[in-house]
Structure 1
Amino acid sequence: MAIKNIIFDFGGVLMDWNPRYFFKTYFNDDERMEYFLENIAQTEWNEEQDRGRRLAEGTEIQIKKFPEWEKEIRAYYDNWPVMLKSDIPHNVEVLKKLANTNYELFGLTNWSDETFPYALENYDFFKLFKGKIVVSGTEKLIKPDPKIWHLLLDRYQIKAEESVFIDDNGKNIETAKSLGFHTVHITPETDLEKELIDLGVKFDQ
């Protein structure tokens, strides 16, 4: 079945986000920074905000657990824009090329609905999706829960087997594959345009 739709994850695919971009300077001590990010402001905690929990609520929950880290925990979302370093130029270029074809472009992202507007306002390429973006924080669903892919498919009346899903997270790729999507697993070495061409995507239509 011919591919009609290209679905992008954002963080790690089109946007270079990492809390270390802020905390490296904040701590000036890599060992202490890594301890904080692995044990205090860990990925699982941040994901709950991506699932729709309010940033303020998530912050207070963590401060109650780790009162001695209050200053650092409050600094996390206060300095969130610094963690969003830049776009990922070579993948954004591929997105721009696709915008000049007949493929439908979609976004499917794990992102807090409180911080996502900042990215929308500061990076023009998001306009290429023409509003067809599913944000986990808005939907109260998060990858790799299959329900968020089903929501995308139902909302836009598209089929998994006619769609390519692009993500940097292996668990998300596995779930998408199990649902029938073609997939591209992004790593720092990935040539996205070549991977898409290998799947049958044409950039000259």
Structure 2
Amino acid sequence: MKKTSSALFSFAVMFVAALALSGCLAKNEVNLLYDAGAPKAVPAATAPRIVVVQFEDARGSAELGLRKDGTAFQSSASVAGWVTQALADELAARGAQVSVALSMGQAQMNQPQYIVAGKVEKVQLTEKNMTSYQAAIRLQTSLYSASQSTITRTFSSQQEKTGIPGAKLAEETLSGALAEALRGAAVSIMGSLR
């Protein structure tokens, strides 16, 4: 009797593991993660003051993309909020004094030297197979200041990652694509400050 229940338990464990590896038990919700790293230094009192306004989500769909089986990836949080905070973190890591505002009016109340607003135009996550994901991101930023005309630029990136099957691989692929796009945006914004 003990051997039978032990064999059944072993079979059940192997069956669940096989389902998990095949993607049948995979979650369709993706955590939106981002780590710009710690700021290299505390911003100096003379560092530029930048307010990042909550980005507009200009994508045609709330979905992040598709699994190989055709089901949609969903985000665990606001995509616009994710991009906004991640850009603020990137600018802070480059020495700027950064805050985030929910609207242009709120940003202007603080009378910062610079305001950055933008749009999330594309966030696409695709499961190529169990161990491979591809992500593409495109966003537009606009830099406003009283001393210069508005500078609007578009940044995009594409990344593919292969690794151990699971949600972490999807999250890292998406985060890596965002990091590439935002590093370009942050370098461009900091280089445009006068």
TM over 0.5: no
More helix by share: 1
Between structure 1 and structure 2, the one with the greater Rg is: 2
Higher relative contact order (CA 8 A, sep 6+): 1
Per the normalisation by structure 2, the TM-score is 0.26
More strand by share: 2
